Structure 1
Amino acid sequence: MATTSTPADAVRAGQARAADGAPRTGASSGYLRHAAGKLGGALVSLFAVLVTSFFLFRIIPGDPVKAMTHGVPTSAEQLATLRRQFGLDLPLWQQFTDYCAKALTGDLGTSFQFRAPVGELIWEKLPATLLLTGVAVVVYSALGLWLGTRSAWRHGGLGDKLNTGIALTLWSVPSFWLGLLLIIVFSVGTGPVPGLFPTGGMESGTGETGLAYVLDVAHHLVLPVVTLVAVGYAQTLLVMRSSLLDEMGGDYLTTARAKGLRDDVVRRKHAVPNALLPTVTMIFINLGHVAAGSILVETVFSWPGLGGLFYQALSVPDLPLVQGLFVVFAGAMILMNLLADLLYPLLDPRVGR
């Protein structure tokens, strides 16, 4: 039977639609305010990084010009000319304003020792660092999530004690010491263990192409990745374990079990998603470390990435290159933290209200 609508019905329908739309509009505006606040905080942090990177490395003892001309007979006039070319003769405040003005346009200066733009040097070394630390971050984040979940779900058992004990032990080991130990055992060879892996570098340099080149790089990648994973997975494991333990006493898990859901389903679909928020922060922080790489590990394994470049720049000191790398490292961390903050309200609507 057909029904007819009255003006009163139309008014009530319009009010219902408005009421339905109000929460969505409010939630959207709340998220925009949350995002704007986080973006403003990120910009302030980035400016603080620029200030810190300029003044921090100028307290390092040493004269860059004298370091570059070490072993070469150089007169005082020539040293003064070099300082003038690099802008080191200007007052400190003027050096700082010039540095900030150029950095805001993407110009990170010219390297003292390589006589090349800092941006080009960073771009050249970035792929090697992304490969090394990217693989390591993916592996130890997945390993930490998996082992942390299993340890928390069966907390107090033998597996939990064994996992946390090994993780804490490896976490306390210096990465460079572990890297040197792996080189001695698996590269040089000791006792019955033969040398299985290269001592350093990213490739053999014998001109391989195609699949042979990929396998060669993977062969060189094993020990540095193992070093980073062994030292890094413990943090993700412990954070995930702690978060899941906090969730395991929740009433919603008891309700889920009372409905007859299997224990595996309760863990995967109810407990773990609610425990992920702190771990998401950890994962994004780890992703921020991808750009920085690991200075010590790259140096120990002679890996041609940003970490080794930073060590070279710091030994001079090559101020523009050190400053540029510091800005890139810190900027990557700020960006990843910003993305994590923007993702939080999507995982938990209570955040940002």
Structure 2
Amino acid sequence: MTSASTPAPSVVPADPARTTEGGAPRTRTSASLPYLRHAAAKLVGAAVSLLAVLVTSFFLFRIIPGDPVKAMTHGMPTTAEQLGTLRHQFGLDLPMWQQFTDYCAKALTGDLGTSFQFRAPVGELIAQKLPATLLLTGTAVLLYSALGLWLGTRSAWRHGSLGDRLNTGIALTLWSVPSFWLGLLLIIVFSVGTGPVPGLFPTGGMESGSGETGFAHVLDVAHHMVLPVLTLVAVGYAQTLLVMRSSLLDEMGNDYLTTARAKGLRDDAVRRRHAVPNALLPTVTMVFINLGHVAAGSILVETVFSWPGLGGLFYQALSVPDLPLVQGLFVVFAGAMILMNLIADLLYPLLDPRVGR
């Protein structure tokens, strides 16, 4: 009588997604380590970029022609002693290296100095003008990002059609138009007396100044926003459209879309649930870059439409030159771009797990 042999236990291959390279089970901590390393590298890169911005902002604007101390006197007769007193008051008589170290030490604590032109802290001036810029450029960025994504998706999905050629041609034409020229053209057409529809929109400013309150004030500001927002949208949506179109065209040749159609999914569902999400990564970069421009505003458009934002303030400071104000605005503009790029870099691994591994 022979005894039945006990069968050997079957070996189940380890799931690579649940194990480390050595075969040990992958814990939640070990799974998050690549993302933490990715995030740490991006944070260090952002800090180095911000330091480079501080150095650049100090030395770059000191090569601008003009004497800021003489500009502060507004052409009034002044003696050499009075000019020397002003230079000493603002620290311009110190050695360059000492001016630089003082500037960096104050900037790292949030002190951006005192404006030569307005005799007020730079931080306060920026805080006063920032809401107007956020309102104008924030509205424009949201509109042209949404418009570019929508038209770029439709153009790529109907590649070669009449609509695709029209969308691409119009976008490229508007993208090549200088924003200040388009703004002036809109003022001629819709505002001044020589246009076909004169007086439809204001020529500039943020409000009429007639003392409206509540909803009437909101309508007044919106009325003043129409032309500058239209200018920014017309010039800005093309970039998002072209990036989204190119990215989606690259995805359309992949086999997974054919598989999705073979499973019976409708064409709209294939585009919405499969193609577009995988094509969004380059467009996310573009959207966050555009969001970084929100704080900077548009110097040319704000100047053309006399919009009371940071762009117009930068133009005023540059014409003096008002060194502390120009440097402070430059740091804010560049810092906003660095922050938005950092957020985009941190979001990439969440949108596509292959990034940062």
- Please confirm whether the aligned pair reaches a TM-score higher than 0.5, indicating the same fold: yes
Superposition deviation, residue 70 in structure 1: 3.2
Match 1:134 to one of 115, 138, 148: 138
Superposition deviation, residue 25 in structure 1: 2.9
Conserved 8 A contact 1:185-1:195: no
| Structure 1 equivalent of residue 288 of structure 2 | 284
Match 2:100 to one of 78, 86, 96: 96
Alpha-carbon distance in 2 for matches of 1:189, 1:26: 69
| Structure 1 equivalent of residue 232 of structure 2 | 228
How does the TM-score come out when normalised to structure 2? 0.93
Structure 2: tracts of 5 or more residues without a match: 1-8, 13-17
Conserved 8 A contact 2:114-2:121: yes
| Structure 2 equivalent of residue 172 of structure 1 | 176
| Structure 2 equivalent of residue 49 of structure 1 | 53
| Structure 2 equivalent of residue 309 of structure 1 | 313
Taking every aligned residue pair, what percent have the same amino acid on both sides? 89
| Structure 2 equivalent of residue 6 of structure 1 | none
| Structure 1 equivalent of residue 328 of structure 2 | 324
> What root-mean-square deviation, in Å, do the aligned CA atoms of Structure 1 and Structure 2 show?
1.7
Superposition deviation, residue 194 in structure 1: 2.8
Alpha-carbon distance in 2 for matches of 1:191, 1:315: 31
Alpha-carbon distance in 2 for matches of 1:236, 1:312: 31
| Structure 2 equivalent of residue 156 of structure 1 | 160
1:189-228 → structure 2 map (5 Å cutoff): 189-190=193-194, 192-228=196-232
Superposition deviation, residue 21 in structure 1: 5.6
Alpha-carbon distance in 2 for matches of 1:244, 1:73: 65
The one-letter code matched in structure 1 to 2:151 is L
The one-letter code matched in structure 2 to 1:121 is L
Superposition deviation, residue 23 in structure 1: 5.7
Match 1:59 to one of 59, 63, 72: 63
Q: Secondary structure at the match of 1:22?
A: coil
Residues paired across the two proteins, number: 340
1:73-84 → structure 2 map (5 Å cutoff): 73-84=77-88
Conserved 8 A contact 1:189-1:196: no
Alpha-carbon distance in 2 for matches of 1:113, 1:197: 32
Conserved 8 A contact 2:292-2:336: yes
Larger helix proportion, structure 1 or 2? 1
Superposition deviation, residue 73 in structure 1: 1.0
Conserved 8 A contact 2:189-2:196: no
Structure 1: tracts of 5 or more residues without a match: 1-8, 13-17
Q: Secondary structure at the match of 2:191?
A: helix
Alpha-carbon distance in 2 for matches of 1:235, 1:67: 40
Superposition deviation, residue 189 in structure 1: 4.1
Task: Answer yes or no: is 1:263 the counterpart of 2:267.
Answer: yes
Superposition deviation, residue 116 in structure 1: 0.3
Match 1:72 to one of 73, 76, 91: 76
Superposition deviation, residue 49 in structure 1: 0.1
Task: Answer yes or no: is 1:186 the counterpart of 2:203.
Answer: no
The one-letter code matched in structure 2 to 1:161 is R
Match 1:343 to one of 347, 351, 355: 347
Summarize deviations over 1:128-153 as a string: whole Å, max 9, x none.
00000000000000000000000000
Q: In the superposition, relative to structure 1, how do residues 336 and 191 fare at CA in structure 2: closer, same or farther (>3 Å)?
A: closer
Conserved 8 A contact 1:152-1:242: yes
Q: In the superposition, relative to structure 1, how do residues 352 and 137 fare at CA in structure 2: closer, same or farther (>3 Å)?
A: same
Task: Answer yes or no: is 1:253 the counterpart of 2:253.
Answer: no
Off by >4 Å, runs of 4+ in structure 1: 18-21
The one-letter code matched in structure 1 to 2:33 is S
